[in-house]
Amino acid sequence: MTLRRCGERRGQGRAGLLLGVMAAGLFLAPAAAGAQEMTLYSARKEELIRPALEAFQKETGIRVTLLTGGAGELARRIELERANPKGDVFLGTAAGITELLRQKGLLESYASPNAGEIPEEFRAADHAWVGITGRVRVLIYNTGRVPAGEAPQSYFDLTAPRWKGQVAVASLGERTTVSWLATLLALKGEEATRKYVDALRANGLKVLKNNTEVRHAVARGEVAVGITNHYYYMLQLQEDPRSPITLVYPDQGPGDMGTPVFSITAAIIRGAPHPAEARALIDFLLKPAGNRLLVEGEFEIPLLPNVALAGADRGIRGLGQFKKAPVTQVQLADLEPKVERLFGSVFLP
């Protein structure tokens, strides 16, 4: 069995850009002659997907070639390879780009027998893609700078003078920032979302390159509050258990919109050269043993009911344990191009 990695960079490209996938080779074991094989295009970091792929190879004997990069650059690669596909499975960091690939006819429908317990909102109606894990858009704050009783409880609290120059968010190079703004458009409308973004800017919002920079800025006390994904809180504590940070699930009141949830998505590329192996990988990632490795790798929340939640002892909540924003992944995907048109010049690092 061989896991071959091409590229380690988590790119910041968007769907319309081809930034190029960095090439490198890592051979974990020799491949047997005539062995089954497949290629995975992954927007997830190599070190996070690797444990699941190693387990998949051990169980099935299927050799995986892994190419990593930004979701947008990989999507563009798939589009350029339409006439002669090289990849078999695409793993995206949010549903938006995956749905765009579906709309362009670049994905195969596959209803995995293991997908039945994934909530419907995290699946394409025609089975062209399926969510495999979830990520929640939370607020993290520095406990040395913000007393617990003064912590913001809503995204919309952050326009108050109290937070002037003290809030950070990642650029639109992070797809979950795009999805967060799409949630606001879906639930609040364009006018209200524009006003909110304008108010954040007027209040000194700091736009950083990525979510890792956001968590570091909060942990160091450079800003008091960060808008980011829940697992960055856990990654910060893993990196430095003494970090003075905690998290808030925002907008949980009776009249509030709830906290958005986005899904990592998996899909088979249309015309995949190894369709049987591609289906086998999807099946593996959706069964408890394989899915658990994904959940544990980056502290994401399970979408399957029989997979344990990682980080519950540090305040991480699973589906059904908090008020979720009432939007589907397809709704968000449809609004993401509009987000980039409206705010592409605003959310720059």
How many distinct structural domains can be found in the chain? 2
Q: Residue 349: inside a domain, yes or no?
A: no
Q: Residue 279: inside a domain, yes or no?
A: yes
Distance CA 323, CA 167 (A): 23
Task: Return the CA Rg of the chain.
Answer: 20
Residues 195 and 334 grouped into a single domain = yes
Q: What six digits make up the tokens of 219?
A: 């942990």
Give the pairing type, strands 130-142 and 245-248. Answer: antiparallel
Q: What is the pLDDT of residue 35?
A: 61
Q: What is the pLDDT of residue 33?
A: 45
Q: What is the pLDDT of residue 298?
A: 81
Q: What is the pLDDT of residue 11?
A: 36
Q: Residue 255: inside a domain, yes or no?
A: yes
Residues 108 and 184 grouped into a single domain = no
Residues 206 and 274 grouped into a single domain = no
Q: At what angle do helices 175-188 and 95-103 cross, to 10 degrees?
A: 80
With H, G, I as helix, E, B as strand and everything else as coil, classify residue 119. Answer: coil
- How far is CA 341 from its chain centroid? 21
* Residue in the block written with tokens 């995956």: 98
Q: Residue 348: inside a domain, yes or no?
A: no
Spatial contact of 155 and 197, defined as CB atoms under 8 Å apart: no
Q: Residue 180: inside a domain, yes or no?
A: yes
Q: What is the pLDDT of residue 31?
A: 44
Give the pairing type, strands 301-302 and 130-142. Answer: antiparallel
Along the chain (349 residues), what's the average pLDDT of each consecutive run of 10 residues?
Answer: 40 35 36 72 90 95 95 95 98 92 97 96 96 97 96 98 98 94 98 98 97 98 98 96 98 97 97 98 96 90 94 96 96 94 94
Residues 175 and 221 grouped into a single domain = yes
Q: Residue 236: inside a domain, yes or no?
A: yes
Q: Where are the beta strands (DSSP E) in 79-224?
A: 89-92, 107-108, 130-142, 167-170, 206-208
Distance CA 34, CA 159 (A): 60
Residues 109 and 183 grouped into a single domain = no
Q: Which of 108, 55, 56, 35 is nearest to 271 (CA)?
A: 108
List, for residues 202-224, the tens digit of each pLDDT value. Answer: 999 999 999 999 999 999 999 99
Domain that holds residue 178: 136-260+323-343
Spatial contact of 69 and 7, defined as CB atoms under 8 Å apart: yes
Residues 288 and 147 grouped into a single domain = no
Q: What is the pLDDT of residue 27?
A: 32
Residues 124 and 9 grouped into a single domain = yes
Spatial contact of 67 and 7, defined as CB atoms under 8 Å apart: yes
Give the pairing type, strands 167-170 and 206-208. Answer: parallel
Residues 115 and 54 grouped into a single domain = yes
List the CATH number of the domain containing 339: 3.40.190.10
List, for residues 85-124, the tens digit of each pLDDT value. Answer: 999 999 998 898 999 999 999 999 999 999 999 999 999 9
Residues 169 and 97 grouped into a single domain = no
Report the DSSP beta bridge partners of residue 51: none
Residues 116 and 215 grouped into a single domain = no
Residues 127 and 176 grouped into a single domain = no
Q: Residue 197: inside a domain, yes or no?
A: yes
Residues 185 and 310 grouped into a single domain = no
Q: Residue 24: inside a domain, yes or no?
A: yes
